[in-house]
């Protein structure tokens, strides 16, 4: 078993090379926010985010090992083409395929409550800075790789896929900041930027469930989930019901507990099932509201 995982541990991974860049920019951002701009910086919240990031390294490694074995099995037995890593434009295709998978994985992580229970911790900080980027889930990886399973089937080697996923993760680090305003229009049109991702981290009703992009914002534009950052509506960071805790165990589990309680109180199996698969906020009697309902009400008011 360990022998078959050997290539996974030995392959090139860009993340360790990015860590010095993470550290320098992390400290620089802290210094600018506190000493130059005199803005509040919740250090305990930042520490909680870093703890989540460190914890996720272990859960990711475990999930990645399982995914690697499954991907290799598919690649070895069922691949449709040979998409060799030495052909440069296969990497371009892979980058697009990876980003497409990321979009749908991320979108369903917001639209299906069971998946939201795993993803929510990336959104539970009420501040938005580079530390927030590190607030990674401990449980999301369990289902995440399922969205990438078509890539080894197509003929991309699993290690190529993991390299590209790491590049995507690194890309998504720098967009977690308020220090970069809007970028030139062509960049804002094509790429996910700090402005677009600020909207994604907003708890304002208007901004809920927008901008699921990884690297390219074009998927949101294409599938109708794009929302621009508006000057008239400053972003309020966090989730619609904030959790006010620095405890990593609570950060990782609070929505699973809330979901379990709802599941338990459901009167029929159909309701119980719906609690798992309907969007967050769904209830059988409509006493709690989903983002879609809240946005419809907002539209009717304005
Ligand atoms: Zn999200
Ligand atoms: Zn984010």
Domain spans in the chain, listed from the N-terminal domain onward = 2-223
Q: Is the pLDDT of residue 142 over 90?
A: yes
Q: What is the largest CA-CA distance in the chain?
A: 62
Q: How far is the CA of 261 from the centre of ligand 2 (A)?
A: 27
Question: What is the average per-residue pLDDT within 273-283?
Answer: 98
Give pLDDT, residue 9. Answer: 83
pTM attached to this predicted model: 0.96
pLDDT confidence bin for 10, thresholds 50/70/90: confident
Ligand nearest to the backbone CA of 131: 2
In contact, 52 and 121? CB cutoff 8 Å: yes
Convert the pLDDT of each residue in 151-167 to its tens digit: 999 999 999 999 999 99
The whole-angstrom separation of Cα 109 and Cα 115 is: 5
Q: How far is the CA of 206 from the centre of ligand 1 (A)?
A: 15
Q: Is the pLDDT of residue 1 over 80?
A: no
Residues 6+ apart with CB under 8 A from 167: 14, 95
The whole-angstrom separation of Cα 101 and Cα 148 is: 6
Question: What is the average per-residue pLDDT within 141-151?
Answer: 97
Question: What is the average per-residue pLDDT within 178-206?
Answer: 98
Give pLDDT, residue 296. Answer: 97
Q: How far is the CA of 183 from the centre of ligand 2 (A)?
A: 18
Q: How far is the CA of 2 from the centre of ligand 1 (A)?
A: 33
Give pLDDT, residue 68. Answer: 96
Q: How far is the CA of 102 from the centre of ligand 2 (A)?
A: 13
Question: What is the average per-residue pLDDT within 29-46?
Answer: 96
Q: How far is the CA of 270 from the centre of ligand 2 (A)?
A: 33
Convert the pLDDT of each residue in 241-253 to its tens digit: 999 999 999 999 9
In contact, 129 and 43? CB cutoff 8 Å: no
Give pLDDT, residue 3. Answer: 80
User: DSSP labels for 5-72?
Assistant: HHHHHHS--SHHHHHHHHHHHHHHHHHIIIIIS-----HHHHHHHHHHHHHHHHHHHHHHHHHHHHHH
Distance in Å from the first CA to the final CA of the chain: 60
Q: How far is the CA of 134 from the centre of ligand 2 (A)?
A: 9
Ligand nearest to the backbone CA of 132: 2
Q: What is the mean pLDDT of the chain?
A: 96
Ligand nearest to the backbone CA of 173: 2
pLDDT confidence bin for 270, thresholds 50/70/90: very high
Q: How far is the CA of 41 from the centre of ligand 2 (A)?
A: 18
Q: How far is the CA of 21 from the centre of ligand 1 (A)?
A: 23
Q: How far is the CA of 223 from the centre of ligand 2 (A)?
A: 19
Q: How far is the CA of 83 from the centre of ligand 1 (A)?
A: 31
Residues 6+ apart with CB under 8 A from 183: 191, 193, 194, 195
Rg (CA), the chain: 20
Q: Is the pLDDT of residue 8 over 90?
A: no
Q: Is the pLDDT of residue 302 over 90?
A: no
Question: What is the average per-residue pLDDT within 93-120?
Answer: 98
Q: How far is the CA of 171 from the centre of ligand 2 (A)?
A: 11
């Amino acid at each position: 078993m360990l022998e078959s995982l050997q290539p996974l541990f030995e392959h090139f991974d860009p993340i360790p090379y990015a860590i010095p860049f993470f550290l320098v920019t992390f400290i620089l951002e802290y210094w600018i926010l506190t000493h130059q701009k005199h803005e509040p910086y919740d250090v305990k919240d930042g520490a909680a985010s870093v703890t989540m990031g460190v914890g996720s390294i272990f859960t990711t490694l475990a999930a990645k090992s399982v995914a690697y074995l499954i991907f290799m099995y598919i690649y070895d037995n069922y691949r449709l083409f040979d998409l060799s890593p030495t052909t440069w434009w296969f990497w371009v295709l892979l980058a697009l395929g990876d980003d497409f998978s990321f979009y749908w994985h991320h979108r369903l992580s917001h639209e299906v409550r069971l998946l939201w229970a795993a993803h929510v911790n990336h959104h539970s900080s009420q501040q938005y800075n580079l530390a927030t980027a590190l607030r990674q889930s401990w449980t999301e990886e369990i289902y995440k790789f399922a969205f990438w399973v078509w890539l080894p089937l197509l003929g991309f080697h699993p290690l190529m896929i993991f390299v590209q996923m790491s590049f995507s993760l690194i890309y998504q680090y720098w967009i977690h900041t308020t220090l970069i305003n809007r970028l030139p229009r062509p960049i804002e049109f094509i790429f996910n930027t700090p402005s677009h991702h600020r909207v994604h981290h907003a708890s304002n009703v208007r901004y809920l469930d927008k901008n699921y992009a990884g690297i390219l914002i074009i998927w949101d534009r294409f599938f109708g989930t794009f929302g621009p950052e508006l000057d008239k509506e400053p972003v309020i960071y966090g989730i619609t019901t904030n959790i006010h805790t620095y405890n990593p165990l609570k950060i990782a589990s609070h929505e699973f507990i809330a979901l379990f309680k709802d599941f338990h109180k459901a009167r029929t199996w159909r309701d119980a099932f719906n609690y798992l698969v309907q969007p967050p906020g769904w209830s059988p009697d409509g006493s709690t509201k989903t983002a879609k309902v809240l946005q419809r009400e907002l539209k009717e008011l304005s």
